[in-house]
A and B are shown apart, each in its own frame.
Chain A
């Protein structure tokens, strides 16, 4: 019998305690939970207050060294194609056109002074496929390919996930290709002429 009344008493007391806790949280919902960090002495004292982060409007910034969306600094890219070969899932597509000798100045140099020898009309990264493994960034000789801290880049259309980094428009690329073909044809003709002369 004493167990029976004991149970009732325990029930009543625990329900009252629980309701007290929920009501305290209910009235504390007018302010934010404190933002003291883990190494702060107050860290375990900030139990009350809202903890919701209204995500698209408020974000916790990603660290500066975070490795998320892949980015290519095309000005430094020499078009070697090592990243294309290194990528385990093939999310990088690259097309290169050799630079004609008189265009070398226009094509320019990388930041550390290396002469660029390829135009890169197509450098597409499918960031939806990219799994941020970072292998492409380790093989990149000029370190132009790097993961950026940008983590949120959702799109409504899947085709928008293909990021274009090429440094030539399609028309320009066509012009450069023709120019190169002309030079090569001329060189070939000269070579044949020489052979005939010999």
Chain B
């Protein structure tokens, strides 16, 4: 276990058993396990508790101490449920929809640097790939909504497609500001460039006076991209029953849920990599207290990466239980008339800052 960049993942790539590339499978399984475990604990249980506390309730309390085992009970229920396939549904699209949805959110994990020593695929166009591959989710949502042959599902799917495709523009431009500051699209390199002995002062959010604008724009646009409140109009419970997954039950429903939690962490991880230094410790070196040096390393890196991601997921939940849902026209207004112009402004300002300010 060396301390050089990507030491763990490269060691895993080289690991073969009986001529089978077992290490590559392990690399793919690690983020998969992470999604499953995190959505079980923090995703479902945490969200229920957080939403309960924000509304002066207690949340699940009966299954286990403080309701800790509630999610396990929910999964047992989901497994036992009948896997209903509506007679008038398009069988192929209906079955393949949740699959594409999950694959779309999971593929982006390939370029997420979980630690200085671990990244699924160290692409030199990592950020570009991450922005692009998320669009695959749109196909899954449309397949699920169209295949269900249900007006609510189709409404949800159409809204979702319009929303995701629109919000990709401000999101991509905001991320480009970060890429401009780094001068690279390699996710691991973006992190390396943000490390330094002053901890958080090296993060791109604090490196330029306008970086907060693309940061904010990307955060808002990412909420819309993962269909989180206040942009949850594709699944608007009070209007569309459950949106594009109205007809789903049992394990297919669980897969859609997993995909949603997967993309929640994915956008949180991307924003923390581009603007908040990813796996870099935010603590600065204070004289002889080398806090930054002590709290950096492969294991610490994973800790910082995951806690930063979890922090943004907390903010997403916090917003969800604060704001009401936007109307469809308000959603488009916000995207095209507010976020996109401001994204362009911040793009130009960042470019000027990068060229003329050393």
* A residues apposed to B, CB below 8 Å: 4, 8, 15, 18-19, 21-23, 25-26, 28-29, 33, 48-52, 54
Q: Which residues 28-55 in B have Cβ within 8 Å of A in the complex?
A: 50, 52-55
- What secondary structure prevails in chain A residues at the interface with B? helix
- Tell me how far the C-beta of B43 lies from the nearest C-beta in chain A, rounded to whole angstroms: 18
User: Would you give the 0/1 interface string for B49-70, flagging 1 where the beta carbon is closer than 8 Å to chain A?
Assistant: 0101111111001000000000
- Tell me how far the C-beta of B10 lies from the nearest C-beta in chain A, rounded to whole angstroms: 42
In the assembled complex, 12 residue pairs joining A and B whose CB atoms fall closer than 8 Å, in A order, are A15-B319, A18-B322, A21-B322, A22-B54, A23-B318, A25-B56, A26-B50, A26-B53, A26-B54, A29-B54, A51-B57, A54-B61
Q: Is the CB of A54 within 8 A of B50?
A: no
**Which residue on chain B has the smallest CB distance to residue A21?**
B322
**Which residue on chain B has the smallest CB distance to residue A56?**
B62
* B residues apposed to A, CB below 8 Å: 50, 52-58, 61, 318-319, 321-323, 337-338
**CA of A28 to CA of B53, assembled, Å:** 8
Q: Which of A18, A33, A54 contacts B56 (CB 8 A)?
A: A33
By a CB distance below 8 angstroms, the chain B residues around A21 are 322
Q: Is the CB of A8 within 8 A of B319?
A: no
Q: Is the CB of B58 within 8 A of A19?
A: no
**CA of A26 to CA of B322, assembled, Å:** 11
- Tell me how far the C-beta of B313 lies from the nearest C-beta in chain A, rounded to whole angstroms: 14
Q: Is the CB of A50 within 8 A of B57?
A: yes
- Tell me how far the C-beta of A120 lies from the nearest C-beta in chain B, rounded to whole angstroms: 42
Q: Is the CB of B54 within 8 A of A54?
A: no
Q: Is the CB of B322 within 8 A of A54?
A: no
**Which residue on chain A has the smallest CB distance to residue B59?**
A52
Q: Is the CB of A15 within 8 A of B57?
A: no
**CA of A90 to CA of B258, assembled, Å:** 54
By a CB distance below 8 angstroms, the chain B residues around A18 are 322-323
Q: Is the CB of B338 within 8 A of A25?
A: no
Q: Is the CB of B322 within 8 A of A15?
A: yes
